[in-house]
Amino acid sequence: MILRDYLYLDTDRLQDYMSGLDPGIIEDLVDTQRSQSSGQAKAGVKVPAVLEAGGGGAHESESILQRSMRVTSQHMFSRVYDALRDADSLKVFDEDSSLHQDNVKRREVVEITRDFKPSPMSDLVENLLSLMNTMRGMGFVEEVSDPESRQAIQALAMIFRGEEGNEEIPMVARAERMPSNTEASVVFLAKSRFMLADSGDFEGEMTVFGKVSKIVPESQSIDLFDFIKLPRAFAREKSFKKELLDMFESWPLEFGGPISKESLKVSGPVVVVTPVAVYEA
């Protein structure tokens, strides 16, 4: 039995994968227990024959206890995990295992333990919002910036994270680069509505379980900015990305900047995982 501290569980994907194991997703199970008693009182006193039903027959009464047991998302994940492991359909890369582009394939199910951090852009926006909330609670929000700047910060948060409750956070584990080392970096995109931990705790050494959606070869790189699902009006404007990146390169230190363009690129090889679960084991 593996004891996991869950940080993230995509219940939508879990239900899809569970449908391959069970004919349907059972939300509740009912356990029925029956107990019988004959002509014997609880204290051990025999019931008089005159009170027994049917004259001389033994009197029996039956009680039924029903308990409702909810099938949790953690239980569903354990079922999926065990089924894949037993079928030898799971590749495990712990913190001491080498991960290269030639020992993993697209669509394979993997469990990878690495030291993950949020994208620098996500980190900046999170720090900005945290600072704004702290200053607002202390009554100093006017001193943080003027109203137009505060509205700009809120707009940036919406652009880079999405609507509240549906934010998406790119998580990155960068491999150390040495001339003889082709170790692959790992990237996955977490959705805030499936997070089971505070955003401040959602980093460090953790294990991601999911399906490999993309492998970026050594000769290429991945741009973390491209994970951002910009509104169409912004996405169509070719100069918008450049203007934003230029702005963040000169972003004030007190607001979590600056952010260089290079820090938003992850050199290949990169394994991109669609996460089902993230946990500490």
From residue 11, alpha-carbon distances to 8, 167, 196, 211, 259 in Å are 9, 16, 12, 15, 34
What is the pairing mode between strands 265-267 and 5-9? unpaired
Helix (H, G, I), strand (E, B) or coil at 244: helix
What are the angstrom distances between the C-alpha of 247 and each of 60, 107, 154? 82, 37, 16
**The model's pTM:** 0.73
Query: How much is the pLDDT for 46?
Result: 47
Query: How many of the other CB atoms lie within 10 Å of CB of 271?
Result: 26
pLDDT of 143 reads 52
Question: pLDDT at position 112, please?
Answer: 98
**For residue 160, what pLDDT is reported?**
60
Q: Cα(230)–Cα(235) distance, rounded to whole angstroms?
A: 6
| pLDDT the model gives residue 231 | 65
Residue in this structure with the two tokens 């260089």, named with its chain if needed = 260
One digit per residue, pLDDT tens: the chain, 281 residues? 678 999 999 999 998 888 877 655 445 555 555 655 555 544 444 444 443 444 555 555 566 655 544 558 898 899 999 999 999 999 999 999 999 999 999 999 999 999 999 988 777 777 766 666 666 666 655 555 556 556 666 666 666 655 666 678 899 999 987 766 789 999 999 998 999 988 778 999 999 999 999 999 999 999 988 877 666 666 667 787 788 888 888 877 776 778 888 989 999 999 999 999 999 97
Q: How confident is the model at residue 274, as a pLDDT?
A: 97
Give the end-to-end CA distance of the chain in Å, rounded to a whole number: 11
Distance in angstroms (rounded) separating the CA atoms of residues 229 and 162: 8
Dig out the tokens for 63 from the structure: 């009680």
Give the CA distances from residue 241 to residues 133, 136, 229, in Å, rounded to whole numbers and listed in that order: 27, 30, 12
